[in-house]
Amino acid sequence: MEVKVPITKPSLIDSLPNNVIEAEEAINNLLEIKFFGFMNFIDLVFWWCVDVLKVWGDLTGLGYNLINILIFILLQPSLILLFFTLWLLERNRRGRYNG
């Protein structure tokens, strides 16, 4: 098997930044170009989620703060514990049949 090496240096190599600060600036510029600005996209998703929580709070009469607490302080950790417990039970149950 023969490996072909380019005869001339690709022009891309000359365009690469030669220090960390320039590289970070290039990366930040690339992130801002995609999705009309990556940080703008993240901000858009965040504020959309805040608006959804506000609407749910208004619809239920509980308000934004209480809905936020119910979802992220009570519901999410409870679901994580439930699925972890179910996983442990299933792992132990299958272990009895395999051993």
| 58-68 confidence digits (pLDDT tens) | 999 999 999 99
Contacting residues for 37 by C-beta, under 8 A, at least 6 apart: 31
pTM of the model: 0.52
Mean pLDDT (the chain, rounded): 82
Residue (of 70, 75, 78) closest to 53 by Cα position: 70
Domain boundaries, the chain: 37-99
